[in-house]
Structures are given as C-alpha cells and as structure tokens.
Structure 1
Amino acid sequence: MPLMMPHSKILMAWLARVSAVSCSLLLLACARESVPLDDHSERNALIHSQHAVVSANRHASEIGRNIMRQGGNAMDAAIATKIALTFVEPHETGLGGGGFLLYYDAQSGQQYLYDGRETAPSTAHSDWFKVLGMPLHHYIAVTRGRSVGVPGMLAMLERAHQDHGQLPWAQLFEATIAMAEQGIDMPPRLQRQYAADRSLRWFGDMRHLHQQRSADDTPWLVNTELAHTLSLFAAEGSAPLYHGSVGEAYRERAAQRWPMRGELSAQDFADYQAVMRDPLCGDYRGWTVCSASAPSSAGVALLQILGILSHYDIASMSPDSPTFIHLYTEASRLAFADRQYYLGDPAFTNINESKLIAPDYLQKRAGLISRDRVMRKANPGDPDGEVQIRHAPAVKEDDEYGTSHLSVVDHQGNAVALTGSIEAPFGSRMMARGLMLNNQLTDFDFDSELSDRLAPNRVEPGKRPRSSMAPTLIFSPDGELTYVLGSRGGSRIIGYVAKTVIGVIDWRLSLQRAIDLPNMLHRGERLELEAGTVLDERVESLLRLGHKVDLITLESGVHGIERVDDGWRGAADKRMEGAVYGDSRE
C-alpha cells in the first residue's frame, strides 16, 4: 500500500501550493490602477426630463434606456441593465451572485426592498473556513468551493418584476443575448483587471474569459454559453437555475474545486427565496435617507454616521479640512463597532435596528468623540444601557472590494436603486454555463465568537452573510424623491455613500460634484485617504490627532440620479467607466 500523508501534512502542502495565489491577490488589492479626477463634470451635465439610467458600463445603461423607450418602466429598465452587466461586467456582478433592490413607486409613494442575498448550504458549520482550528486567510478562502453561496440575484429580479414590471420578462433579455453572442470590445477596466490579476492564470475558467479579434488582436469579450443560459431564463424564468440544469452545473462546478469543495445541494437551490423587507429610514437635517436593512449593515451604519454628525456644523467645514475628516471618520469607527457587534441575518440574529439609529442613542455616541484626539478604541454601545461596551473586541476590517451599482428613474417618477455583487473581482474564479460563481460566503466572520458572545455574522446553515450594499433613496424635507444612489466597494460602500450624502445635503453640491469629492473612510483599523488628491496634504495634521493613516487608491463606484428643476440628471463615478443614458421630451 502507498504511504499516506498525515492530514496535517496534506493541509500544509495545500496551503503552500495556494500561497502564490494569495500573494497575487494581495498584490492586486494593493496595486489597483488610480484614475485621476477631472476638475469639471461636463459629461454628465445633460438633464433628462423623461427618464435616466446610470450604471458602470455604457452598453448596460443604453440597454436600460432602450427598454424605457419600448414602454418599460424603471423596474423593467433596472432588470435589463443588471442582465447586461452580467455580460459586460462579469468580474464584479451578475446573475451568479446576489444583491439588494430598493424600489420607489411614485403613485403610491411606497418603497419596497428586495433581498436577493446568497445563502449558505444546509451543511455549513462554524468551522466552514478553518483549517486545524485556524481561520483561513481571506484571499485563500475566496477561491475555495465553500465560498460559493446559493445565488439570489435572479430570484430577486423575477419577484420584483412580477410585482412591478410592465414589459414581458423575456423582452428584458433580448439585447444582452444578442450582445453576448456577437461580442463587444472588452471594456477597458475589465482589460486592466484581467491583465493585472496574476492569480487568474491559476484558474482555467478565467483563461477562457475572452477571445481575440483576428483583425487587429483587440481584446474581444464574447460569451455564447451565457447567451444560451440567458435564453433559458428568458423562456422559463428562474426555474433552470433553482430547479434545473443551470443550477446543477453551478453546483457541480463548485464541488470540483479541491480542497474545501462546495457542498451546495439541489435542495439548497430549491429552497431559496428572495425576501421582501422594509427599508431602513432616518432623518438627516430634515431630509429622509432610506437604505437597505439587515442582512445588509449599510442602513444602520450609514444612518449612524449621519446621526452622529448631525450634532456638528458640518456645512461650515471644508470637505477636505482635517476637522471634518476627523469627525467623519470617528463617527464611522463607532458605526463599524456596532456593525460588528450586532448585525447579521435577521432570521438568525435578534436585531433592533430602530434602537441603533435612535437620535438619543446617537447623541450619546457623538459625546464620545473629541475634536482634539482620536478615540483610543471605538467600542460598540448598548442602546438600552452603557454608551460603550468596553470589553468588546476590536473591529476587524472586511477584505472584499467588488460589486456594482445602478440607478434608474422613469417618466412617471418611479425609481430603482440596485446594488449587486459576486463579492471579489472575478468571484471564486469559477464559471458554469457562462455565469461567474460568487464567493459571497467569505462575507461571513470566520471566527464564530467575539470576545464575549457568538458573532452575529458567524457561518450557519441556510444563513445570509452580512452585506454592506447600500441602495439609497433620499427625500427632501417636503417628501419629494430627490436622489437615487449607491456604490460598489465592499464594506467601503458605506463610507462612499455617506460622503456623497453629506456632500449633497451639507455642502449643497450637485450629485456629480459630491461623488467627485476625494474619498475618505474608516472601517475600524485605519483611516484610509484617496491618494493623488488634496488629501495627500492632510496626512500630517491627521497624524498629529493620533490617526493611523493609509494613502491608497479608493475606487468607489457611486452611480446616481438627482432631481433638478427640469427633470433628472445622472451622475457617474469618474473613477470607473460609468455612463448616463436618458431621454428628454422633444
């Protein structure tokens, strides 16, 4: 008989084998390309009186606009745009992942939040991402089959369309099917990420992501497998994914990745349901800000940051002043402390979100901030007790940074803010039937316990991991929908959206100008400032206040629409390749 290696040696050999992949991924995370910001925002200055769509890609935005030209409403356009992004932005989002959709019905004035977050398989357990009792490095866990959750995006879009769509479901797929069959020039950002991510050479699925044009060797994106899969979805709805051959191929692909193979079952897929939830809303200087509730942490964290800052005269401060940056990031530290301590899937965790955003609680939390010095430690608080829980563990930052956001408004004033993700760029580095497999289960906490309690975001069977996606609607003091927005960026989404909200409300900037402001955020460990901006000159002042500062590339992807006197005006983040498409009355 052949000699058998001890389990520990097998695992150590495997860890050594994947360490090069981990290093490549780490290098990519630190070396993403910086896109300089322009001084002016002329490309998105057009006002659209009829309807507007803004997303991360011009092909997707144009498809959404054309759907409304064909008589569709905002929901139809948002779904068609998201389907298109599955093809043109496969490394960030798609029907193989999940997301949150916030819909505003202009006639009734009602909001509807759809939760299409992924779920863990029935076999998941507390040691899901551990080896020999030790948590895996995040970048190793990303590429394991166990990172893949039951995708929720398609089920969410189908349910939202049944509730609010106007055009036939199949019509929303037609343009993307044709585009995926015929191909397009590979979008520049996808080219850059594909070329820069050296880890992709380890994964066969990724090596065949694109073909080359024979004429001039220009990178060419085509996905005939996806076109066939979309044709099935167009004809049969979500059934091929949750009850049929597409789902079977998806599960089999995840199960092939060794070690730590995926354990998704046919029953896990059959049991999946998109969930309708109430959005979380709060007041900020008379404006009403609404965003996603749990299992997204964005609603609580965003409203906590704003609620704490409401006790300061932010309008009198410069957006790049050390005083504002200090107050803003200290508020963020407190919000992220509560986020870690309390938030997870509400089906598994008893969460009282209304208490966490209550004005009296946030006033007490604001009292913990000093203008002259950073807090030694940002602790969570107890809305019913102590303003800070001193024995709580320090906040650990999440490692993810992918995702994509789109915003739509139609001629009736209906609006959609939709944030979707496969988690890391290129997800789990696996594809099935043309779909990129997500790695969303790495959004769970790998340790099942905090210092004094079970982690609310620990891995459990059938559970949805905590998210940071923040589809957001903002209503003026007289109740009129005024802004529709959201962002990409993993847990940094919260900071990107908060900065933008402050820009339009406190400093009365146009939405585009607010998006263009240099990014700054704090997720619990270090103050992150956008390199190559005026913030470079603020580092010394912030160091003197006691901050630990990182100057890094911060690729937000805030895409939104604002109400103006003559209609609607889109705004696309210039750090990405976003595009606004719309129409005006002739």
Structure 2
Amino acid sequence: MLAVAASAQQASTAAPAAHPPGTAIASGHRLATEAGLEIIAQGGNAFDAAVAVSSTLGVVEPISSGLGGGGFFLLHQASTGRDVMIDARETAPESASPDKFLDKAGKLDPSRSINGPWSAGIPGLPAALVELAGKYGRLPLKQSLAPAIRIASEGFPVYERMAKGYALRREEMEKYPGTREVYLRNGRPIQTGDIFRQPELAHTLTLLAEHGRDGFYKGETARKLLAGVKQSGGKWTAAELASYQVKERAPIQFDYKGWKITTAPPPSSGGIALAEMLQILEGYDLKGMDPVQRTHLTVEAMRRAYRDRTFFLGDPDFTTIPQKVLVSKDYALGLRSTINPEKATPSDLLSGNPTPLEDEETTHFSIIDAEGNRVGATQTVNLLYGSGLIPKGTGVLLNDEMDDFALKPGTPNAFGVMGYEANAPKPGKRPLSSMTPTFMENADKSAVLGTPGGSRIITMVLLGILGYDDGLTAQQVAALPRYHHQWLPDLIEAESGTFDQATVRGLEAMGHKLKLPGDTAAGGRGSSHVWGNLQTVEWDRKTNTLSGGSDPRNPVGAALVRPGTP
C-alpha cells in the first residue's frame, strides 16, 4: 500500500477552488495507478485514465477482474455536471436456464455454478472500455490501452496474494489447456517473484484497441472465445456475444447531513441499501455516541437494509423494483421507528430468508482529475480467478457470475446463501451485485470511494462515508476497522481489533451475537481477520488540495497524485 497526498498550492479561504490542482488516483495495484497517471500526462482526462487503470488491473489482478468479467463505472462529468453509471455487468447466456445447474437429484450443483464454462456470463468490461473512451474520453482507445498492452507483454512480478490464490484454485484451473498455457511455467505453477507475461492477452487487448467492440465481441477473439467455451462443454452463441451492450443508468442520489451522495443503482444493490442505512442513521447524533450505542444503531440500519435487498432487488430490466419507496426519507423514518435504542432486533422478527452474496475477489479504483471529472469503478470476475477457464489463444479469464443468480430459489449455493425470483437467471439478465462505487460531495469537499468485499462491500462503503463525515482523512478512511451485519445469519461480523472487550460486552448485553476472528462457535461464514481493499480520493476545495487513501491491508495498492492544471 502506498498513499501520497498532494503538495498543492493553498487556495484563498474566501471561496472554494473551482478546479482541483491535479489528478488523484487510488487503485489496488501501483502499476494500474501509474498507468492512469501516464495517460493523464499524455493529455487524457479521468475517463481516459479509467480505461488505462481498468485494463491494467485486468492484467495485474487476474485474481479479481479482467476482460472476461464486468463492473460498474460511476462517472461525474465536470463540464455538464452530469452523473451517470455505466452498467457493464455480465449477462446470462441463453443456454443458462436454472435446470442446467442442478444434479440428477435436482439439487444445486456448485461444480457448474462456480467452475468452468457454465458458470460464465457474457463479459461486459471490454464494452465499457470502448464506451468510456469513445463517449467520455479525449484520447483514442488505442492510446489509453497502451499501458495494459505493454505490461501484459513485458510482464510484472507475481505477488503473494496472486500466487496463493492460484494455489487454491489450481485443481480447477489446470483442467483447461488455455489456462495451463498461461499459468504454468514448464509445468510449474506461478510463484511469488516470477515475471508473469501474458502475450495472448496482449494480443486480445491490441485487437480491442484497433477494432473497438468488434475486436472482442466479433472476429478473431469472439471465434476463440466461442470455441473455448464449446470445447470445455459449455454453450455460447455468436449472436449473444455480438449483441452485448453496456447500459447507462441514472445513479441513486440522496442527502446525508449536508453531503450529496451519488451511488450505484440496480442491478447493484449497494445504492438502495446505502440510502436506507444512511437515511435511518441521519436521525441520530452518531458523533456524540459511545462506541456501543453507535455500533448498535449502525447494525440495526444494516439489518433492515439487507432484509430489503433480499426480496426487492434484481436486474431492473427484468424485475419491478419499488426504488422510489425504498430510497425515500419517509420509508427510512418508518424503519427507524422500529429500532429499539437499547436492544437488538432479532432478525427472525423481520421475516424472510438469507440474502444473496457476492464473493470478495473484486477490485475498485477512484479518480479525480484537474477538471473536476470523477470516476468510481468497481469491477470483478466474481470468485477467486473467476471460472478458472481461459479459452485457448485469448488470455481472457472468464468470470463465474452465474453463481450470483438465484439458480434454485430458496436453496443455498456453494457458499450457503439463497436468492429468489427477483434474481433468477433469464437470457440477457444481469445478476444482482453488491458493487457500490460512490461519490460524496458537500460545500467544501468531493470524495470518491469503493471497495471489493462481497456482501460486505456495502457496509464498508457505509463506514467509509461515516468516516469522512467524522472528518477523517482519505488514508484514515481507507484504514478504518470494519464490521458488518447482513440480516441473516443474525450476527455482527468484525475484523481483528475492531471492538475492544468493553464494546463486545456492551453489544452482547443488548442482545447482539458477534462473530469475531477465531470464533468458530457461532454460525455463518466465519469472520476473516481483514476485509476489503478500499480505494478513495478526496479534493478539499477550501485548501485546494488532493489526497488519496489506499487500503493498508493490500501491500501492492497505491494512491498517487499528479499536480497539474486543466
């Protein structure tokens, strides 16, 4: 992790600065952050930089994202004041009906939902890169993709998380000839410190750079993708690959104690959940509370939002979502009235079943440029190394996003979670996600933040927003300790060191059950020692300074600032 604050000139205290003094970028890998700044130096804007950062993350973080996956890109265009989200979520192939994921006994077969060709949705990330460059950027796509192409060709050192992740997924990944060609060196799997070169991925990126959409969704790359899926036992069609389109969606916007919050709409569940939680919490003076009371009320807000996530949310093109009600202050007021300030609400009193999850292998980056453009992007291949399948000759690791659908309503998937009709798969439908890229803005400051972390993404972003509201710096926000409640299982999970013993005892006295690292007595997934990989940037208009925060949990991430004027 590296975070570098801006050393910018001081602005007059009489009026906030009109433009940031340069560009700030925070991402999960230093090479990706540097790629974005390289494009800025060549005359690009935040959207060109986003193409460079996104594509480079796909090269250096294959464990988390890439051309074979998808994501959400939240954009603010300074010249027009427009906010928009590019939805590049993967879509279900026509062949992926729920029965394809059941075994002979009619039970959910996790070997199909998380591994290999049947687990993969039609990728959306390449289309998003084309959209960003063509509609919002200043530079040719070829120029913005150049850093990723160079790094894929020349290679980069394998880091510990990448090598350990491969070791965990090795058995599945080495079933496929295309994957073996990329990840084995003379029969030996990649190891920390190896130089990892991906010439086939460099070629695929070059075709995308030269031919735009058709360089991926048609032609040579498409033929290789279709052949690789078919040879591995799956079924995609040329028509559904060629017809993939990103969608521009209006973000969710609401106010929280003087902050304008702009965040992701469905098929992300994050924006609606954030609106519910923050508008519940705005009725309390959190800053004046002791840790027990503050945590209790925050958990109760989490509990209610995650309950609604389960029943109401899915792809808005296929599911009717009562969004206007769910994000209203009146609805939040009603939810707040059900909270006992002195006692936990048992989740079984809020009727329903467990919420769908998304795994933790995702990545996020945040950008503010010298014109005031902003990008918050969260992208993923879903689980660790996605499906494990690289169609031969492409270098493209396919996602396993089909596991994010409710493949058998009311039946736990491989991670013990359930979903319902609102998130059932249909051809062309996008699975529900927790990815929550978010903007915060008040009279003095603008910030961009987001994180990976599965179903915990939303609560980590919530805690980050509350941290900024408390007056923390960007780096302090990135380092905040984290806790989470998702309605069912009825547990507060937390990282190591989040709560002291007095807080634990106080929460337990209120009726809360806690799942802490090392605790195997309670139910649920278990609580790991550290979560997420939050990346955030902030512009302080009063001092006209930029700063970035890169999660200290991730040693290869970087938040960097490049001075400069628009």
TM-score, normalised on structure 1? Answer: 0.84
Cα shift at 1:137: 5.9
Matches within 5 A, 1:531-570: 531-535=495-499, 537=501, 538-551=503-516, 552-553=527-528, 554-564=530-540, 565-570=543-548
Change (3 A) 1:454 1:573: closer
1:268-321 CA-to-partner distances (Å, cap 9, x unmatched) read 112211101100011111211111111111110111111111121111135xx2
Contact 1:487 1:558 in 2 (8 A): yes
Matches within 5 A, 1:123-522: 123-132=95-104, 134-136=106-108, 138=110, 141-197=113-169, 199=171, 203-204=175-176, 206-210=179-183, 218-257=193-232, 261-318=233-290, 321-377=291-347, 392-398=351-357, 400-432=359-391, 433-448=394-409, 455-476=421-442, 478=443, 482-505=446-469, 507-522=470-485
Contact 2:163 2:192 in 1 (8 A): no
Change (3 A) 1:330 1:114: same
In the other structure, the counterpart of 1:29 is: none
The amino acid across from 1:456 in the alignment is: A
The range that moved more, 279-288 or 541-550, is: 541-550
The amino acid across from 2:31 in the alignment is: H
Change (3 A) 1:280 1:447: same
Cα shift at 1:192: 3.3
Contact 1:210 1:222 in 2 (8 A): no
Contact 1:86 1:95 in 2 (8 A): yes
Provide the C-alpha distance between the structure 2 equivalents of 1:517 and 1:131, rounded to a whole number of angstroms: 43
Q: Find the residue that maps to 1:159 and give its secondary structure.
A: helix
Match of 2:4 among 44, 48, 53: 44
Report % sequence identity.
Answer: 32
1:495-544 CA-to-partner distances (Å, cap 9, x unmatched) read 11001001111x22112212212110112214343343142534343333
Change (3 A) 1:344 1:43: closer
1:35-58 CA-to-partner distances (Å, cap 9, x unmatched) read xxxxxx984334463111111000
Change (3 A) 1:249 1:458: same
TM-score, normalised on structure 2? Answer: 0.87
Give ranges in structure 1 of 5+ residues lacking alignment: 1-40, 380-389
Cα shift at 1:372: 2.6
The range that moved more, 393-402 or 456-465, is: 393-402
Provide the C-alpha distance between the structure 2 equivalents of 1:427 and 1:145, rounded to a whole number of angstroms: 10
Provide the C-alpha distance between the structure 1 equivalents of 2:115 and 2:173, rounded to a whole number of angstroms: 13
Cα shift at 1:471: 1.0
Provide the C-alpha distance between the structure 2 equivalents of 1:240 and 1:428, rounded to a whole number of angstroms: 22
Cα shift at 1:133: 6.0
Provide the C-alpha distance between the structure 1 equivalents of 2:420 and 2:192, rounded to a whole number of angstroms: 54
1:226-279 CA-to-partner distances (Å, cap 9, x unmatched) read 11111111111121321222123223333344xxx4322111112211101100
Q: Find the residue that maps to 1:431 and give its secondary structure.
A: coil
Contact 1:400 1:423 in 2 (8 A): yes
Give ranges in structure 2 of 5+ residues lacking alignment: 9-20, 412-418, 517-526
The amino acid across from 1:277 in the alignment is: R
Change (3 A) 1:492 1:140: farther
Provide the C-alpha distance between the structure 1 equivalents of 2:310 and 2:22, rounded to a whole number of angstroms: 42
Change (3 A) 1:310 1:135: farther
In the other structure, the counterpart of 1:23 is: none
Cα shift at 1:366: 1.1
Provide the C-alpha distance between the structure 1 equivalents of 2:295 and 2:408, rounded to a whole number of angstroms: 32
Q: Find the residue that maps to 1:53 and give its secondary structure.
A: strand
Contact 1:120 1:149 in 2 (8 A): yes
Cα shift at 1:549: 1.9
Match of 1:523 among 479, 486, 501: 486
Cα shift at 1:566: 2.8
Change (3 A) 1:125 1:359: same
The amino acid across from 2:300 in the alignment is: E
1:114-166 CA-to-partner distances (Å, cap 9, x unmatched) read 11111011233233432246442657621142210000111122112221110
Provide the C-alpha distance between the structure 1 equivalents of 2:109 and 2:94, rounded to a whole number of angstroms: 23
Matches within 5 A, 1:9-20: none
Q: How many residues align?
A: 524
Q: Find the residue that maps to 1:581 and give its secondary structure.
A: strand
Match of 2:79 among 107, 124, 147: 107
